[in-house]
Structure formats: structure tokens, C-alpha cells
Chains A and B, each alone.
Chain A
Amino acid sequence: MTLNTDMQVNRIDDYLWEIPPSEKAGMLVPARIYASPAILGAMDRGVFDQVTNVACLPGIHRFALCMPDGHWGYGFPIGGVAAFDPEDGIISPGGVGYDINCGMRLIRTDLTRSEVQPKLELLMTELFRRVPAGVGSRGFVNVNRREFREVMRKGAAWCIAKGYGWEEDLERIEERGCLDGADPAHVTDYAIERGINQLGTLGSGNHYLEVQVVSDKNIFDRETAAAMGLTGRDQVVVMVHCGSRGFGHQVASDYLKVFEKAMRRYGISVKDQQLACAPFRSPEGQEYFGAMNCAANTAFANRQVITHQIREAFAAVFDSTPHALGMHLIYDVAHNIAKVERYGDGEWLVHRKGATRAFGPGSPELPDCYRAIGQPVICGGSMETGSYLLVGTNRAMHDTFGSTMHGSGRTMSRAQAKRSVRGEQLLRDMKQQGILVKAVSMSGLAEEAGLAYKNISDVVNTVDQAGITKKVAELKPIGNIKG
């Protein structure tokens, strides 16, 4: 097998590969990549270079990981996971990503495709109107600076208190939609000014809101699906992919500059400037952690107010109420985050960058409704091919710090995608496939064409076979909103 690296990559089993510390000076632990042979062979050189760079960071525990949707990123690869000793290890914005708490949310309905299809155009128009997307869009939630700081501290709970959601939503959000330790004092005015008007907006790039269908043949585990409120029979669900928008990006940018200087003070050297970091317990590390938690909570709030708008749109179009339509939240989970979590006897600062928490059955962090089955894991595919709902496993708790993949992963640059297909043509082709798209930008639409992504089924089958998450259902798009 030919790989895009000169390093030695040892096979552990059909879905797990390891690069030993001898392959790069400074590696403190091995690097491990979850991939089928075909996916490993297609991975770009950046994955191998970057996951081994991560393995050199101070305080790293056991190994640096990359998931099968991995590809080159800033600092960490996308799909990167690493755990650090909170006492002696570092925290790095490059291990979280610029879009802090970018994540996925899935909402169920009692509606079927046959009920939605006649009103799909109206529904997508209403969703497009209520959930702004694209360059410079502003949300419907108007807050002043004092209120925005409350959003930073309280996350989704702030929204519920304001009437943007249901009390039951909170238990179905990772960390109940609020990370402890958010400290607005460590957020710059620039970040606040970028974020204060963006609550309730999708953004652009690979972010989307999608109306999907779950058919009987696409449910792989009926009992687990039922526990999440999925019954099949062409049931309609709604998926949201977005994060902390410009606010989170500014927090990350601000602290990369702080950490570049701090590294000299603490005598830390890194293989890549975008891995700038500081000791977690240092003043700089704690300040970033406080600001990052603010951005994470704002992202939870963003997805919560978007959920409110989705419920209102469905209620208006179907002349009903969100409760009567059964619009319960299935789950909300981050895939760009750093959190202190307990594994075995110890606590570790786990960085997930384009990787999803996947806690197994019995985890005390899970709500009662999911404790027996494990945590729902939402993995978004391209807008043409569909997405998956999976569930966490105890093997993930042991092998991957309770982590798994987050999406399909790109195989083609944005410029290449735009040369391969025009947005207007893609819009028509997708309509013929039964997928109604509303997009702000035709060039942005072309950049997200399905041909630019890996086949998500191949990626999902890898984590399923590796045992770090199990497939529950495949979700097929019928409507998509893009920035």
C-alpha cells in the first residue's frame, strides 16, 4: 500500500494504524490513525505530519489520534484527538479549531416525508427566512453587551430562560449546553463586537441546516433508534451544523498571539506555529480556557436559538405547534472543543478538533434517557449524500478518550470543486435528485458539492468496524440551507 508519507506506519488491525515515536524527533507517544486501508491510502500528507507533531506536545497522554475523516488542518489535523495531563500538559487553540464548539444538532419530528413533500418549498423558504446564513448575516436575537456576557456564561440555558427552547432540551446537549469556567473577562472587545449580532446565524463554508428523512431500510439498530425517538417510516428530522461564528474565531486568533509569546516564556517549542500553546495551569492557559468556554457556550446558544426558529417555521408551515409535531431534540454535540474529562483513575484535558465525543453506555455524564444505550453521535456528510446517527461505545472510552469521527472529510479543495461544478447547475441537479437547496452564494454552494467529500458511508463503516461508535441510522437529505 502506498501512503502519502515516508514514515513507518504499522498495522494494528484492519482499521487502526500506528506511527511509532522513533519516526520523528520529539515524539513523546505513538500516533494512531483510524482508517480502512483504502481511507489510509487516500489520506493527505498533512495528516501524517500533523498527528506526529501533536505527539510531540508536552504532557500528551498515551497517543495522538486521528479519525478516518482526517485531513490537513491548522496545527492539529481535522479529526485530531489528544489528551493532556492537566497539571503538566498544555492547552492549544490549534487543537480546538478556530470555530470553537462547531457542532451538530438533530431534531426529530412526527412528520413523514409524504406529509412534508407537498409543502417542502414553503418550508425551506420559511427556514431560509428565519435562519440567516452567509456573509455578514445578523440573527434575530438582539442583546446588549451585558446580556451577551450572560450568554457566554450560561449558554443554552440563557436561551431557555428567554423562551427560545424547552427545558427538556438541556439534558440532550453535551454538558447541558454550558461549560463551567467561562470567563468573559478574558474575551476581547473585538471578539464581542464580531459576535454580538450573530446569535441565530448559520454562517457559510460547510455549515448548513438540513431537512432529512429516515427510512426503515436505513435504520441499522431499531431498538437504539427508538430510544432516540426515531421510528423510521420516512420520518422527517432536521440537522444543524454550525458553531461560534466570528466570535469563536476571534477568541482563537487572539490567543494564538498570546501563546506565541508565552511559549518563549515557558520554554516550549512546537513543530508548527499553529500549534502555539501554553501550560494549562499557567495564567495564559487558564485565560484561554475561560475565553474558549465563553465561545463554546455561545455556540450552544447559537444552535439553541436556531432550534427555536426551526420549531417556529415548522409550526407556521404545518399550522400546528412544535410540541404537537413532536419536535424533540435528539442531541447536540460539539466537535471542536477542549474539556477536562475523567478516564480511569485520572482527569485529562481532551482536545477534539473535528472529532466528536462518543461516550459509551453507563457513562454518568449521559442523561437518563441515553445512559443505557450510549451517547448519540451526529456525523454530517455532504449535502448530496446524507448523514449518520451513531452511538458511543465503551471501547471508545478505553481506546479514544471517548471520541470518534465528525463528518466525511474533504478530498478536494474549494477551488477544485468550483472548477468541477457550477452552483446553478448543482442546484438543478440536486432538485432532480429530490433535494431542494436554498443558498446565499452559488460559488459557496459549488464548493460544498458532494464530489468534494469522501464517501461518508466508508468513513462511518470504519468507526463502526473499529468499534469506537456503532451505526444507528442513515439520514437522507430532502432540503438544505447553505450560506
Chain B
Amino acid sequence: MPGTFRFLDDIAMADMAFEAEGDSLPALFDTATEALIQSLADPATVAQTWQQVVDMEEPDIDTLLFEWLNRLVYLKDAQAVVFHHVTLAVQAAPDQSAWHLHAELVGAPVDQSTQDLRSDIKGVTKHLYAVTQTGNSWKARVVLDV
């Protein structure tokens, strides 16, 4: 994966936070997604028996990443699933008026007997939320409410 993430200690005492970096915008989305799905459960312990395709469009990159991560949290609750992996494509509209995300999610229904379940994330917050670009490098800071 051409990106990395790390969990941050001192940003949200009662909750969780991570910083994701990528050498391209799709790489940033990939690593931020990986950070979130690893917060919910160890993907290595999640089977690949559930699939869903998500398409989203938002006016800017910040909003698209924020809403996408919240969509994962919504699916976790609404469908009682955790995720093995996600294949993502992110691109701008030809006139740059909107950003589109196409995601193929693979995972399995929650199973406490086989999965290493972690935190029941309740949502992505706007606290200190930031998406920044330096040259070709992209970075996002995300605080998760636990």
C-alpha cells in the first residue's frame, strides 16, 4: 500500500484518532479506510462472505472522505458487519465541480466467536479533522468517537 497510518495518542483522550498519509489521493483514501476498518476488527480474522458496492459524490475531497468513513460506520451498525478489505476508486468530475467515490466492500457479519473485534466506533467527528496536500503527498487527521 503506498500509504501509512498511525494512531495518535494525545488528541482525543476518551476516543481514538489516526493520521493517514498517501502519495496520491487514492492512496490517502485507501490508508484512511484501512485505519478505520482495523479500528473495528482485525481484518485478518474477518471472512469474505458479504459484499456491497457504494457510490458517493460530494462537492469536495474533505467532505467525501468524511462522509465515506461515516458510511463505513453506518454499514457496521445497519448491517452488523465488519470488513476484510475495500477496493476504492476516487476521481473528480470533468469540470472539478464534484468528487466521486466508487467502493467495493468485502467482509462478513459480526461473529464474536471467530473475529478479533476491537472498538465499536460510533462515528467520525469534525474535531481537528483535516485533509491536507503537500505536492503529491496527501495527509488526513481523523478523530473517531468510541
Task: Collect the chain A residues with CB atoms within 8 Å of residue B16's CB.
Answer: 414-415
Q: Is B146 a contact partner of A414 (Cβ separation < 8 A)?
A: yes
Q: Does B80 sit at the interface, judged by CB under 8 A?
A: yes
Determine the residue in chain A with the shortest Cβ distance to B80: A136
Most B Cβ at <10 Å: residue of A205, A411, A443: A205
Task: Collect the chain A residues with CB atoms within 8 Å of residue B127's CB.
Answer: 74, 273-274
Q: Does A221 sit at the interface, judged by CB under 8 A?
A: no
Q: Mark B67-99, 1 if CB is under 8 A from A, else 0.
A: 000100110111011100000000000000000
Count, chain B residues at interface, CB 8 A? 35
Q: Does B125 sit at the interface, judged by CB under 8 A?
A: yes
Given contacts A44-B13, A74-B145, A414-B15, contact A134 B125 (CB under 8 A): no
Residues B90-146 near A (CB distance < 8 A): 109-110, 112, 116-120, 122-123, 125-127, 145-146
Given contacts A190-B74, A250-B123, contact A138 B80 (CB under 8 A): yes
Given contacts A274-B125, A440-B112, A441-B119, contact A136 B14 (CB under 8 A): no
Task: Collect the chain A residues with CB atoms within 8 Å of residue B123's CB.
Answer: 98, 249-250, 252-253
Partner of A71, one of B10, B14, B41: B14
Q: Is B9 a contact partner of A415 (Cβ separation < 8 A)?
A: yes
Q: Does B25 sit at the interface, judged by CB under 8 A?
A: no
Task: Collect the chain B residues with CB atoms within 8 Å of residue A410's CB.
Answer: 13-14
Task: Collect the chain B residues with CB atoms within 8 Å of residue A253's CB.
Answer: 70, 123
Q: Does A309 sit at the interface, judged by CB under 8 A?
A: no
Please tell me the size bucket of the interface on A. 35 or more
Q: Does B47 sit at the interface, judged by CB under 8 A?
A: no
Task: Collect the chain B residues with CB atoms within 8 Å of residue A74's CB.
Answer: 125, 127, 145
Q: Is B14 a contact partner of A203 (Cβ separation < 8 A)?
A: no
Q: Does B56 sit at the interface, judged by CB under 8 A?
A: no
Query: B14: shortest Cβ distance to chain A, in Å?
Result: 5
Q: Does A444 sit at the interface, judged by CB under 8 A?
A: yes
A72 to B116, CA, bound (A): 30
Q: Is B13 a contact partner of A205 (Cβ separation < 8 A)?
A: no
Query: A426: shortest Cβ distance to chain B, in Å?
Result: 16
Task: Collect the chain B residues with CB atoms within 8 Å of residue A71's CB.
Answer: 13-14
Q: Is A483 a contact partner of B145 (Cβ separation < 8 A)?
A: no
Residues of A at the B interface (CB closer than 8 Å) are: 44, 71-74, 78, 98-99, 134-138, 190, 193-195, 197-198, 203-206, 245-246, 249-250, 252-253, 256, 273-274, 410-416, 440-441, 443-444, 447, 483
Closest 4 interchain pairs by CB? A136-B110, A204-B120, A246-B77, A194-B77
